[in-house]
Amino acid sequence: MTKLGKTADPKFTRAMVALIPFATAFARRGGDVELVLTKNRIPISALSDPTMLVEANACYAAMEDMANLLGDPYFGAMLAIEAGNTGTPAIQDAAAKALTFGDFLARFIVEIASQVDNVDHRVEVSSQAASFELRRRITPRGATTQVTSVNIAFFVTLFKRGLGDAFDPARITVLAPTTDGVPANFLPKMSLLKSRLNGMKVTFPPEWLWAPFSLGWQIDGPPKGELGDQPEENLLAHFRSVIAANIVQGELALNRFAELVGLHPRRVQRILSANQTSYRRLKEDVRHGLTLDLLANPITSIAEIASRVGFSDVSAFDRAFKQWTGKTPTRYRSNYIRERDTPDRGVARV
């Protein structure tokens, strides 16, 4: 697995832990990542350097800004649910080697303690109840709706997935400073309680600690900070996310991309070739997909979209888009909006 190493100062965190997934999803939904990062004094290079540290409060604020700009209070929670179901290399060892729920929690605490300094985790057990607690070592300066909902959604998803039939949402209680970012159908209302706790605490029946636990993630932990031998589907998804996070910077050379994903350039090429594609085609596919998402928002200008997907000028963007679709971006958008706003037409075909 990737051992990120401690930050030594709890005021700082690694951007790759939460900020990069947020930024990637935000960009796909038409958000201006660079604007949000600039507002919160986070360098754009934080999205491409897995070792970079950023101030935790700035990271929290950027997460809030992205959700607010999208008008989606459940933005972070939905990302966390997806991560809990599909897997994350950061705790892969704990997930793969645990036999019981208690075993997983113990392994998780040891594993995550070697990676971060700004959050403490602990488990308490009595004859009446057991609890898993996450406590921040800094005091957030602003809203914590997103980071709190990420914590709740991620860990409850892990517990639910790993425990299977033994999990009963009516038998857990979640204490957190806010529950505003948690989807209404995620947990029973009586299971979510507001508290002044600077973090989150989940209380559950102590007998769950001895229940069999298996997350069933289909990923391999990357050895020595590299991607290792993950299944091709996960590798390609990771490749796409790295390209999407860096596409605004324009041309991303293969050698630089290989550095970002922790693989030799020739290995990247072999992986892509085995999947009947190339680095150039993968970049174009990602750029094409991002462009279509951005065009769905009529507020974003064509010039701004061209810049966001890495084109130096609108004319070059127009030529590339016509190669992809046979239409100009303006015509594509007008057709899309017309089809979308026409009743009973179903999915737009543009």
Range with the lowest mean pLDDT among 36-40, 153-157, 169-173, 230-234?
A: 230-234
- Higher-pLDDT residue of 221, 121: 121
Tokens of residue 254, six digits: 């293969």
| pLDDT reported for residue 250 | 66
Is the pLDDT confidence value at 346 over 80? no
In a shared domain, residues 17 and 114: yes
In a shared domain, residues 21 and 96: yes
Residue 60 identity: Y
How far is residue 179's CA from residue 61's CA, in Å, rounded to a whole number? 17
In a shared domain, residues 183 and 73: yes
| Burial category of 312 from C-beta neighbours within 10 Å (exposed 0-12, middle 13-18, buried 19 and up) | exposed
In a shared domain, residues 194 and 131: yes
For residue 313, give every residue at least 6 positions away whose Cβ sits within 8 Å of its Cβ, in sequence order, or none. Answer: 306
* Domain annotation covers residue 188: yes
What is the Cβ-side half-sphere exposure of residue 88, based on CA atoms within 13 angstroms?
21
In a shared domain, residues 176 and 30: yes
In a shared domain, residues 171 and 231: no
Cα 288 from chain centroid (whole Å): 21
Residue span of the structural domain in which 84 resides? 12-210
**CATH, residue 330:** 1.10.10.60
Q: Say what the pTM is.
A: 0.63
Range among 128-142, 267-281, 304-318 rated most confident: 128-142
In a shared domain, residues 204 and 104: yes
**CATH, residue 16:** 3.90.1520.10
| pLDDT reported for residue 74 | 93
In a shared domain, residues 24 and 169: yes
Contact 214, 162 (CB under 8 A): yes
- Please list the residues that pair with 199 across neighbouring strands: 135
* Domain annotation covers residue 4: no
| pLDDT reported for residue 235 | 67
| Burial category of 14 from C-beta neighbours within 10 Å (exposed 0-12, middle 13-18, buried 19 and up) | buried
What is the signed CA dihedral for 302, 307, 312, 317, rounded to 10 degrees? -40
For residue 137, give every residue at least 6 positions away whose Cβ sits within 8 Å of its Cβ, in sequence order, or none. Answer: 10, 117, 118, 119, 120
Q: What is the pLDDT of residues 1-33, one digit of tens each?
A: 233 334 455 677 766 667 888 888 888 888 888
Tell me the pLDDT of the chain averaged across its residues. 82
* Domain annotation covers residue 122: yes
How far is residue 29's CA from residue 292's CA, in Å, rounded to a whole number? 10
Q: How many domains does the chain have?
A: 2
| pLDDT reported for residue 105 | 94
Cα–Cα distance list, 295 to 127, 308, 321 (Å): 57, 12, 11
| pLDDT reported for residue 81 | 92
* Domain annotation covers residue 6: no
Cα torsion 185, 189, 191, 193: sign: positive
In a shared domain, residues 69 and 128: yes
In a shared domain, residues 53 and 121: yes
∠ CA 51-56-59, nearest 5°, is 85
Q: β-strand 173-176 against 192-194: which pairing, if any?
A: parallel
In a shared domain, residues 247 and 130: no
Q: Compute the chain's Rg from CA coordinates.
A: 22
| Burial category of 170 from C-beta neighbours within 10 Å (exposed 0-12, middle 13-18, buried 19 and up) | exposed
For residue 213, give every residue at least 6 positions away whose Cβ sits within 8 Å of its Cβ, in sequence order, or none. Answer: 98, 99, 100, 101, 103, 104, 162, 163
Is the pLDDT confidence value at 348 over 80? no
* Domain annotation covers residue 348: no
Q: Transcribe 156-212 into DSSP letters.
A: HHHHHHHHGGG--GGG-EEEES--TTS-TTTS-GGGEEE---SEEEEEE-GGGGGSB
Q: Percent of the chain scored above 90 by pLDDT?
A: 33
Q: What is the pLDDT of residues 330-339, one digit of tens each?
A: 888 888 777 7
210, 235, 251 — which closes off a domain?
A: 210
Is the pLDDT confidence value at 285 over 70? yes
Tokens of residue 158, six digits: 């892990």
In a shared domain, residues 175 and 113: yes
| pLDDT reported for residue 146 | 94
How far is residue 115's CA from residue 303's CA, in Å, rounded to a whole number? 41
Q: What is the pLDDT of residues 210-247, one digit of tens each?
A: 999 999 887 544 433 333 344 445 567 778 777 887 77
Q: What is the pLDDT of residues 91-109, one digit of tens each?
A: 888 888 899 999 999 999 9
Is the pLDDT confidence value at 134 over 70? yes
Q: Average pLDDT, stretch 108-127? A: 84
Contact 20, 48 (CB under 8 A): no
